[in-house]
């Protein structure tokens, strides 16, 4: 994986490491095969461990020329001096959506090009007999589970964040001490877990692939609503995207994020890397991938040509808030997600689980243990 001099043609090609899923990777390879302008060698990074893989590889002397990674990783990469600012002439090439613009900004500078927007929203089939849209958490909780579950959502800290926000809690911001062991956070986690206990939410605890199980249940009309991201749109649509409707999570409390293209400081082909990043964020390709992959465009022109489903998802993201922008933000989920799983599985109460999360977060921030309950959380 190194970037040293070599007669091997692959060593002379632009090295692009990315977190595209299987369907997206196939689309990327198809697009690259039609390009005669460049030679590109791609390396797939598993999303969950991409940051660790990149840092380990760079420490060993390997270096990609272009990297596609979650936007929450930008602060940490910047503070470690591992990525470059975007040249002004590159940034000005596209008309970025405001939600895309915020993905790559850190400390008043721009450190990458947006590649896709994402977040969570509620999705249903048009022919399902269910009140739509869902305007409050109360409406979601009142869905009858008499004939089986009605809702599909993963058991994960990213999903529970919407419920924490609905109760006035959230993740700590960069300036605040980490604090989630509050009455508001407990209420939010309890409301989330109660949907599983009541049978309204589909039981995914024993599923080997919870995401696939949820998609299968949605396609077979075993659930009415999927609470998920745009990455699942093609599978949920099952060839009939016009049958899907998208709505914002009540109160616009769902998290928003996205994927970005950054150039490492060690890149030997920075100019070519920025050129590839521009092509990957070009409106025409963005609109095409919105229709085939479910990705949400990052430019105004791309969104205009993306079709009704992508535009509906983008509208559902309007008014939502991104995850806080600071070095520790991505690591907060490493403790929150297992705690959520413990509560849904009945192995801990919300208060017990969040007390453990709070202790772990304070260690992450190099803070001493907390003797009393903190103030209400703020983001």
Give CA angle at 340 (337, 345), nearest 5°: 125
- Give the pLDDT mean for 61-71: 95
Calculate the alpha carbon distances from 368 to 52, 226, 268, 358, 364 in Å. 26, 40, 43, 11, 10
Q: What is the pLDDT of residue 371?
A: 57
Q: Please determine, for residue 160, whether its predicted confidence score (pLDDT) is greater than 50.
A: yes
DSSP state of 264: B
- Give the pLDDT mean for 184-188: 96
Per residue in 214-252, pLDDT (tens digit) is 999 999 999 999 999 999 999 999 999 999 999 999 999
Of 51-55, 93-97, 111-115, where does mean pLDDT reach its minimum?
Answer: 51-55
Full set of structural domains in the chain with CATH = 9-118+257-322 (3.40.190.10), 120-254+326-364 (3.40.190.10)
Q: What is the pLDDT of residue 366?
A: 86
Q: What is the pLDDT of residue 84?
A: 96
Per residue in 304-340, pLDDT (tens digit) is 999 999 999 999 999 899 988 899 999 999 999 999 9
Q: Indicate the pLDDT class of residue 136, thresholds 50, 70 and 90.
A: very high
Exposed/middle/buried for residue 268 (C-beta within 10 Å: 0-12, 13-18, 19+): middle
Of 33-37, 189-193, 204-208, 252-256, where does mean pLDDT reach its minimum?
Answer: 33-37
Q: What is the pLDDT of residue 209?
A: 95
Q: Please determine, for residue 2, whether its predicted confidence score (pLDDT) is greater than 60.
A: no
- Give the pLDDT mean for 59-73: 94
Q: Please determine, for residue 105, whether its predicted confidence score (pLDDT) is greater than 70.
A: yes
CA distance 13 to 216: 40
Tell me what the pLDDT averaged over the chain comes to.
Answer: 92
**Long-range contacts of residues 54-61, Cβ cutoff 8 Å, at least 24 apart:** 54/17, 55/80, 55/82, 57/1, 58/82, 58/264, 58/266, 61/2
- Give the pLDDT mean for 121-147: 92
Structure tokens that stand for 342 in this block: 């413990």
- Give the pLDDT mean for 123-134: 93
CA distance 237 to 301: 24
Q: What is the pLDDT of residue 377?
A: 53
Q: What is the pLDDT of residue 181?
A: 74
Per residue in 333-378, pLDDT (tens digit) is 999 999 999 999 999 999 999 999 999 998 888 888 775 444 455 5
- Give the pLDDT mean for 25-52: 90
- The three-class DSSP label of residue 325 is coil
- Give the pLDDT mean for 58-74: 94
Per residue in 84-104, pLDDT (tens digit) is 999 999 999 999 999 999 999
CA distance 160 to 267: 38
Q: Indicate the pLDDT class of residue 27, thresholds 50, 70 and 90.
A: very high
DSSP state of 131: -
Give CA angle at 148 (144, 154), nearest 5°: 95
Calculate the alpha carbon distances from 109 to 36, 102, 105, 116, 257 in Å. 33, 10, 6, 19, 18
């Amino acid at each position: 994986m190194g970037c040293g001099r070599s007669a091997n043609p692959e060593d002379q090609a632009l090295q692009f490491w990315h977190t595209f899923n299987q369907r997206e990777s196939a689309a990327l390879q198809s697009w690259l095969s039609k390009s005669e302008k460049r030679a590109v060698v791609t390396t797939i990074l598993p999303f969950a461990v991409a940051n660790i893989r990149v840092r380990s590889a760079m420490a060993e002397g390997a270096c990609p020329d272009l990297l596609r990674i979650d936007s929450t990783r930008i602060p940490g990469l910047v503070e470690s001096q591992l990525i470059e600012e975007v040249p002004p002439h590159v940034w000005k090439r596209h008309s970025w959506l405001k939600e895309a613009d915020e993905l790559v900004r850190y400390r008043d500078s721009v450190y990458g090009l947006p590649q896709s927007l994402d977040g969570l929203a509620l999705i249903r089939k048009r022919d399902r007999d269910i009140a739509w849209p869902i305007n409050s958490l109360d409406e979601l909780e009142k869905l009858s589970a008499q004939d089986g579950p009605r809702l599909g959502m993963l058991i994960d800290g990213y999903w529970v964040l919407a419920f924490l926000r609905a109760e006035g809690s959230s993740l700590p911001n960069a300036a605040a001490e980490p604090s989630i062991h509050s009455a508001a956070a407990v209420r939010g986690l309890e409301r989330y877990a109660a949907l599983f206990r009541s049978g309204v939410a589909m039981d995914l605890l024993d599923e080997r692939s919870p995401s696939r199980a949820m998609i299968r249940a949605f396609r077979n009309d075993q659930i009415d609503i999927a609470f998920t991201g745009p990455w699942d749109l093609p599978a949920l649509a099952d060839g009939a995207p016009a049958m899907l409707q998208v709505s914002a999570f009540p109160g616009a409390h769902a998290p928003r994020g996205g994927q970005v293209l950054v150039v490492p400081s060690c890149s030997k082909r920075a100019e070519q890397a920025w050129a590839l990043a521009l092509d990957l964020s070009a409106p025409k390709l963005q609109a095409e991938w919105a229709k085939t992959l479910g990705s949400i465009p990052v430019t105004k022109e791309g969104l205009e040509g993306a079709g009704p489903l992508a535009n509906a998802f983008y509208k559902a993201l309007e008014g939502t808030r991104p995850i806080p922008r600071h070095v520790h933000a991505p690591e907060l989920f490493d403790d929150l997600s297992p705690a959520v799983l413990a509560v849904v599985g009945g192995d801990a109460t919300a208060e017990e689980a969040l007390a453990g999360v709070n202790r772990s977060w304070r260690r992450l921030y190099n803070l001493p243990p907390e003797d009393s309950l903190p103030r209400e959380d703020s983001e």
